[in-house]
Chain A
């Protein structure tokens, strides 16, 4: 598996598909609640900060010439590996729990909206079986599948043209961020909506070296920002701000509004298509958790993935209600935010130290 490499343009699809998660459906509500009037503007600065964050990762990539981040960390000291082992184990368990929570949250929403009689645990298990297959096929297959899924789900964006006639600039008003609740909390919340790009850190050895191959990650992120931006603006123009703060899934409501003569209930189809996107998010997190654990144990991939998913499934078994799931997910994504900030910083420090000692 170590020798497998994929063309950098797949990074576009992986970045976008991993970034986009269930948060998409409630994003305008989150923004309206945290930032109030004209909160959509906040997407721009946050997206720029994320762009800088990705730039940091790109710097590490070019300095280390595509070396695996594990090698970089371990090169610091020959004994470092002993200290790092518990860290690796806890990180991989953390990511497996995170991915199962994402799966569970999505399934919960799906159950609430469309399949009230479906058993959550059963559907989560089904998702995990799919994840197991995807992860154990290796990163090349994941890259290919996410490309296929991208083209299956991407045309959804054109549906939003439907709302152009109902769109009204009057809804925006001239107030800026008035009636916000917890502005700074909102910044963190919005930042976590962009998370997913950090999985690229773990892909360094698998990207075939091409000049400026990393630009596809930037493009992937910019596409995510574009989609977030468009749907949030449409929601602000289509709903009143007070309504936006009340409706939990404004995007679902928006899609429900679409009526075509030849198709009923388009919203359910879109929601199911989105399942593919969530599947890639989960797969990517399980995959990084797999390669992290592989630094510690020498078991087969199948066994590791099976164990990781098992641990993730069992540790989230008790979380069932919306409140519990939202609490768990927001706690976990905040931890993931810290990881995504400190891991590149750590790597950068190590890289500079190494370069200095080499000089």
Chain B
């Protein structure tokens, strides 16, 4: 039996020698940027930028090409470098804002189909041009592509932008009860920064939530577990609320399938770390007032987000998933979600509890 095991082992190992890849000859693409060309003679075409690290210089190299289809780009990009470019190590895909408005599924489908790529490849929308973002020399960064990847991971952990990858995007895009979202990043003067959330209808970017609204959006998805919330109640009054616990519940009420009520309730508990304003936060009564102000502020923000979703007939919160559970199959199909979102009465209620106000009295 040992002999057989040995033979099996040797034969199995032999097969590994067939498909060789020599690391020094490869260019491991780290980030790919896609944007559509809006003017000039190449109008309507796709501009593809790849960046990959070069071991000898410890720097990244970027290459750009103008093509018709995403796959085509690999052939031409390969011709422009001494490395054999491979996709196995791609970590993030950047999509230009204009291209995102036209629709991104074709692009993502190509990636999703490819067995070489992982479904964990991160996806983000770039305001302006991915090519400029990748090819610029930044004084503070050595390799901008790794910075982008780390920024996306970190900001997602702090709940300012969503963590979006190919799998999640495909999941929400294909699902009939939710629309996808994606983080938006932009190139600032000295680096890269995250901007907020892009809301999609099917695969087209429709609306945009800036940073503070983005945090409120995460309260609504129930994914916001920890972090800080900057609240500007009015010009004089500002609060930094650091919370420990967020409980969100969604209850759907159906009246003869015509009236759909969605009760969104959010229960926040946390510390008040910074307060600028008139009120005395050592006074119990005034704390209750601050709590009330925060609640009112959050409810307004939530209503604004809901307005945006109703305006574009999109459901990026996945309310459809809750409504779907209350219906039979045919009613759900007839509902034509999310086009019917403006038929739904969504009532947000926020409860804020300030547990403590810090070390100073």
Question: Of B4, B174, B318, which one neighbours A170 at CB under 8 angstroms?
Answer: B318
In the bound complex, what is the Cα–Cα distance between A170 and B11 (angstroms)?
Answer: 46
Question: Of A133, A242, A253, which one neighbours B4 at CB under 8 angstroms?
Answer: A133
Asked if residues B324 and A115 are in contact (CB atoms below 8 Å), the reply is no
Query: Number of residues in A with C-beta < 8 Å to the partner?
Result: 40
Asked if residues B19 and A115 are in contact (CB atoms below 8 Å), the reply is yes
A173 at interface, CB cutoff 8 A: yes
A242-291 contacts to B, CB under 8 A, are 242-243, 246, 252-253, 256-257, 259, 265, 272, 275
Asked if residues A178 and B15 are in contact (CB atoms below 8 Å), the reply is no
Asked if residues B18 and A115 are in contact (CB atoms below 8 Å), the reply is yes
B171 at interface, CB cutoff 8 A: yes
B114-122, B278-286, B343-351 - interface stretch: B114-122
- B6-41 CB mask vs A (1 if < 8 Å, else 0) is 011001101100110000000000000000000000
Nearest chain A residue, comparing its CB with the CB of B178: A240
Main secondary structure of the interface of B (DSSP, over half): helix
Asked if residues A141 and B4 are in contact (CB atoms below 8 Å), the reply is yes
Q: Taking the nearest CB of chain B, how far is it from the CB of A60, in angstroms?
A: 31
Main secondary structure of the interface of A (DSSP, over half): helix
Nearest chain B residue, comparing its CB with the CB of A110: B15
B170 at interface, CB cutoff 8 A: yes
A354 at interface, CB cutoff 8 A: no
Asked if residues B19 and A117 are in contact (CB atoms below 8 Å), the reply is yes
Asked if residues A173 and B325 are in contact (CB atoms below 8 Å), the reply is yes
Task: Spell out B's residues near A (CB within 8 Å).
Answer: 1, 4-5, 7-8, 11-12, 14-15, 18-19, 88, 115, 118-120, 167, 170-172, 174-178, 318, 321-322, 324-326, 328-329, 332
Query: Could you show 7 A-B contacts with beta carbons less than 8 Å apart?
Result: A117-B19, A130-B8, A145-B1, A173-B325, A240-B172, A243-B175, A256-B119
Task: Spell out A's residues near B (CB within 8 Å).
Answer: 37, 112-119, 123, 126, 129-130, 133-134, 137, 141, 144-145, 148, 170-171, 173-175, 178, 239-243, 246, 252-253, 256-257, 259, 265, 272, 275
Closest 7 CB pairs of A and B: A240-B175, A242-B174, A178-B329, A243-B174, A115-B19, A113-B115, A170-B321
Known: A174-B325, A256-B120. 13 other contacts (CB 8 A): A112-B115, A115-B15, A115-B19, A126-B11, A129-B11, A173-B177, A173-B321, A175-B324, A175-B332, A240-B174, A253-B167, A272-B12, A275-B12
